[in-house]
Structure 1
């Protein structure tokens, strides 16, 4: 059974940039709770006089990208406080970086800035942005392999070998290239490989390439024992 990929939100970052300099982001300090944009899809009633079985029909309408918000420790006069105050009436490029390095980037208009100043507890603030347009998925860094790929199965003609991709940071997708004695096997680019007679006497390995929007990296497994005949 595969292990869960669940993670906690610790380490997430909310940052803002100006549209004039969309790659120059300022991290907002002391954020402790982030609510990313949430899409709501409209439905349009398309019922007509001949709708089958006197039943209403609907078609997809527009998507409202909703709001994004975060909670932060309120420190009057801090860089974060001033940045949020200065965002009033302006379009900002907002970016949420999740703990695994995946990012959501979107255009937001500051909708609310609500500090709370209690007598016997820390001061906090809630910041809300109205999202305009879709968010864009990305990554801040190219993938990095943290545990080498591996192969399971018996290196024997007709026996299926399966690739384990290993462990990677920054949530890549994977592609595979099987190798015989260090040389690529033509057409062997799936997560499994079945040795053939021509492989007898040679060791098999698999190279796994992880790719995300920021780039790619490749890691190669240890080789199997030499393939034996069936």
Structure 2
């Protein structure tokens, strides 16, 4: 039996610059897929027996994720990531699927941008984002 799974080769991550224009980030090696998570509220009390009791929080909280890339000092991607730190920006993720495009769009809060400069390996960067607001996803016509 064969599978229909594909690799992520050809995927793209776009991030809005200060003027709101989406810019394709270069040298990206791992794109996390946004998911919304719902927190829990501990509803236990002094008469609770056994396990704690929880209820779902009324608001979803987007989780944090790391977008990984090769770091090229001073590149357009490097400068955009530095500038976007601590700001909320629009994003677009493009996934090639069987010759078509599947997209995620929405907003992220850019929490941090970390860069490494190892002695005997490639330089890497990691853009920590928090998904905020509703995320739209689907095939692009």
Q: CA deviation at 1:18?
A: 4.8
Aligned-pair CA distance for 1:66: 0.6
Deviation at 1:5, TM superposition (A): 2.9
Distance 1:104 1:49, change over 3 A: same
Match of 1:98 in 2: 95
More strand, by proportion: 2
Aligned to 2:14: 15
- 1:34 and 2:31 are equivalent in the alignment: yes
Contiguous gaps of at least 5 residues in structure 1: 143-230
Task: Flag the structure with larger Rg.
Answer: 1
Where do 1:59-78 residues align within 5 Å?
Answer: 59-61=55-57, 62-78=59-75
Give the Cα–Cα distance (whole angstroms) in 1 for the partners of residues 45 and 114 of structure 2: 47
2:111–2:130: 8 Å Cα contact kept in structure 1?
yes
- TM-score where L is the length of structure 2: 0.79
Contact 2:18 2:84 in 1 (8 A): no
- The number of aligned residues is 137
- RMSD over aligned CA atoms reads 2.7
Q: Which has the higher contact order (CA 8 A, sep 6+)?
A: 2
The answer as to whether partners of 2:85 and 2:113 remain within 8 angstroms in 1 is: no
SS of 1:76's equivalent? coil
The alignment's TM-score, normalised by the length of structure 1, stands at 0.51
Q: Where in structure 2 are there 5+ consecutive unaligned residues?
A: none
